[in-house]
Structure 1
């Protein structure tokens, strides 16, 4: 039987089920009746054959035409073809044709838990996800990496990769930035048995990330509950009028009370404040009525004060004119001028003084 092996192919000559030798490109003829068989394979990429490599490598031509890489169980290999990364390999023996393409493999151990910097992001994207753990720590956060549930490393902001082939890798991140906690609509009974609602706010940031992770779960919820309890405890000691009048002072006292518990919550607290005091509808109506009455009373006082001042001014003016005839005459002329400005035509006779005649018109 005739066989044609092209330039990008190789052939395995087999006789009676046993590998004889490697056939290079060319034309061949073998008698199948004598047990000859030829397996023609592509001579690029990985060698694909059901013949064990240990048998194939006894042929010198085959041995010179391939490269072999052995990867242990804790290793990973990055395969390059003509300088381009095409994939990764794990435990096993890999044989590649090295005739028309340049095959290289970079082998790294996975014994250490941190993926080394020599393995770039472009290389990592070829690694199966089950082999590594990706940890992202954003700006303002602190990361904690646990190897087999034991804290191993603290991380600043950045991107990190860890092998998890022979170990369990877990990670937590903690936001260390200032945040605002709003405690809204808290119903509280004052000392004089008036039910009010408060909206409060406090700023906080975590100060001890490690203790926070080990001692606390749902810290924000716990802090929220603590602010609720403190507000009910302290506001309940004041009457409604006192709360309205001393709002800022009470807020400062509550802020001090919260700061005393900072270490328990692994946080720093500041700027606590009572944003809103919401009164029941009936109380609001009563207070509005009182406010209107107070404003009316203030307006009446001001009105009476102005009337008294006006009367006093008129009395002083009359007294001056009574004592000073010249001033009295000037005042008369002033009023006559005002009257004349409003009259279109005035008729007078030639008898008597003009001023006297005009005065008689008043």
Structure 2
């Protein structure tokens, strides 16, 4: 049986927990010396030892654990995990029934009641991502529940926490029959190749599904589309399938070339008719300006933080300058898809970056649409900071 200890939390945090806030912040804890072993179940109590909530200890970003229940009598056991995962699966019933989309999120951390854990579905394969050593100690419950509730081909996992050098390369296969990767999944009728046993990435970011569909259906026909920080070229594929006359994909990672060719190929698109550049995006902006290249649509979806030999980039401080570079090579009345997955600032703050980028470029814009996480990435409406994705589709007016 997993050990449980009492952890005293301050009054300010108690008020937040009672409103449903799920993340246990380091500053909330009054007796941190009792927190020794990650995975320990913790009872949060006030200064009078009165029960507040129950959760687990596990370091993740700013937090040191997650609240799991506000019922002192509810055990954190197999039945608890079964209840949460079963409810999450039921909420995604319409996704399981959609033959046009065969990859989506089936469990989204705190949005489905267990912070630090996500589970994605890839056409019969399940992939669990663990964001702290603490939640990983409870993996036997999760895998046991999946054994009971779903008919899977195989289960894979990703450890997305620091293991102090002990975990370098490891087969991510957990159980079932190992997949013959890449497998081809569908998303809004488009094909994408994914590999669940190839390090941290799979080949597709599922949270951008709605944006890829919008690019294909509304903004690509007859256009030249520039996809920056293109990864495996998924946005470029969407644009090509939407009737783009040409796409240009730019990413610094050398493997992006082969991966992008693969994504075009599984959709029957002639990759040789597309432009795939392995180079720094900022160097490409300068190249495009020098050669007076202009694009009808520019996709800006950078990582929250990136480092190359020449640059250190952070969306929190550098997005306006990035946008200014993009504006310079966007046609008048052209489209810019501005996106970030940085959870450290709000949509309101992101829009101030957009304002600054256009002001610095001496340009004007209007917002055509904006969005955040898709429906399968369930979040709590009362705490928008956990809805990390911010996408604003803009039209350059001048």
TM-score under structure 2 normalisation?
0.18
**Greater fraction of residues in strand:** 1
**Greater fraction of residues in helix:** 1
User: Which of the two has higher C-alpha Rg?
Assistant: 1
TM-score under structure 1 normalisation?
0.19
